[in-house]
Amino acid sequence: LQIKKAGVSVEKREIYLISIGTGKTKILIWSQMHGDESTATMALFDIFNFFLADDNFNQLREKLLNETSIFFIPMLNPDGAEKFQRRNALHIDLNRDAIRLESPEAKILKSIRDNLNPQFGFNLHDQSKIYTAGKTFGSAAISFFAPPYNYADDINDVRKNTMEVIVKIHNALSPLISGHVGRFDAGFEPEAFGDNFIKWGTSSILIESGNWNNDSEKQFIRKLNFIALLTAFDSIADKNYENIDIKDYYQIPKNEKLLFDKLFRNLFVEYMNEKYVIDIGVNIEEDKTGNDITYYYKSSIDDIGDLSGYFGYDEFDCSGMKVEPGKVYPEIFNSLEDIKKFDFKNLYEEGYLFVKMIDNSDILEF
């Protein structure tokens, strides 16, 4: 592995370029241009360990090292990663800075691409867990996209190569996670890097790490990225992607926003002496506590009504159950310590969702 400093971020954190292989076909991979999308970054270090190993896969390693030269930017947005936020320190979305190139991070990526002129590029991201692979209950564990290079959605040879490699990856993953591989569907973004990579002559493959039930740390999705990348490298080294019919790309089911974390079906509410049957979809998100490292989970109601066309990671048939507003506990507390003495499970069961505390500056600072 050859490691060199490629530049620094807005806040002067170092950004590295790692390379391996001596082949003519160049591949450029960048991860975590959105600071809070770290799944593929973990997988890249698995890839590094793979190349450094000595085992039954030596023949594959030798082929990849002889036929390709692979360049990695494991973390393009270290400032965003430090705060675990999407954007960089200037609150610029790096993936939308391919033309103006205001951010130093975007300038680094563009400069590396121009110097290398790689045949293939891999743009690695995380996507929301609300996506399904098609109109099914199957979560999109991993999704792929061949970005367009114009509003007409035309297909040139560069984009065609992208689609062909994606089909090879899809065919490798489908037996492992049948029904959980999706096709990200988006229009042309004139300021986005993936779209412009195609325009500049690099076949750019977008990989979105989605969600797998009970895998909140995405360690299973990490493995899928590892398999996807090695499959792509192998296909590029052999050039067997050229045998693929791009019609198969459009057979990959499109991502749909059809999932909730919790879906409560067949509840009823009373309003002005009338009863109404509703479903409630709840999603759970991480929320930082303020120090950028620790976080808690926050639930919110995202939709109410007839949600029969949607799915939940967890679903509950609440037939006969009534929806009532949460109550405020009547006692006023002096401190957080007093509140912590209560059994919150019992409070919830009794319908209390809120407590009141005296406005004390010391407590508020705590």
Could you give the CA distance from residue 170 to residue 182 in angstroms, rounded to a whole number?
9
Q: What is the Cβ-side half-sphere exposure of residue 166, based on CA atoms within 13 angstroms? A: 33
Residue 106: predicted pLDDT: 98
Say what the pTM is. 0.90
Residues forming a β-bridge with 1: none
Instruction: Write the pLDDT tens digit of every residue in 291-314.
Output: 767 788 899 999 999 999 999 999
Could you give the CA distance from residue 44 to residue 38 in angstroms, rounded to a whole number?
10
Could you give the CA distance from residue 191 to residue 97 in angstroms, rounded to a whole number?
6
- Residue 360 is encoded by which pair of tokens? 């004390």
Residue 297: predicted pLDDT: 87
Could you give the CA distance from residue 255 to residue 204 in angstroms, rounded to a whole number?
19
DSSP labels for 30-95?
Answer: EE-SSTT--HHHHHHHHHHHHHH--STTHHHHHHHHHHEEEEEES-S-HHHHHHT-SS-TT---GG
Distance between alpha carbon 161 and the CA centroid of its chain, in Å? Answer: 23
- Low-confidence stretches of the chain (pLDDT beneath 70): 292, 359-366
**At 29, phi and psi to the nearest 5?**
-125, 130
Please report, in angstroms and rounded to a whole number, the separation of the first and last CA atoms in the chain: 47
For residue 131, what are the contacts with CB-CB under 8 A and spacing of at least 6?
139, 140, 143, 182, 210, 211, 255, 256, 257, 258, 259
Exposed, middle or buried, 80 (CB in 10 Å: 0-12/13-18/19+)? buried
- 287 touches 297 (CB < 8 A): yes
Residue 292: predicted pLDDT: 67
Distance between alpha carbon 119 and the CA centroid of its chain, in Å? Answer: 24
Residues forming a β-bridge with 263: 281, 315
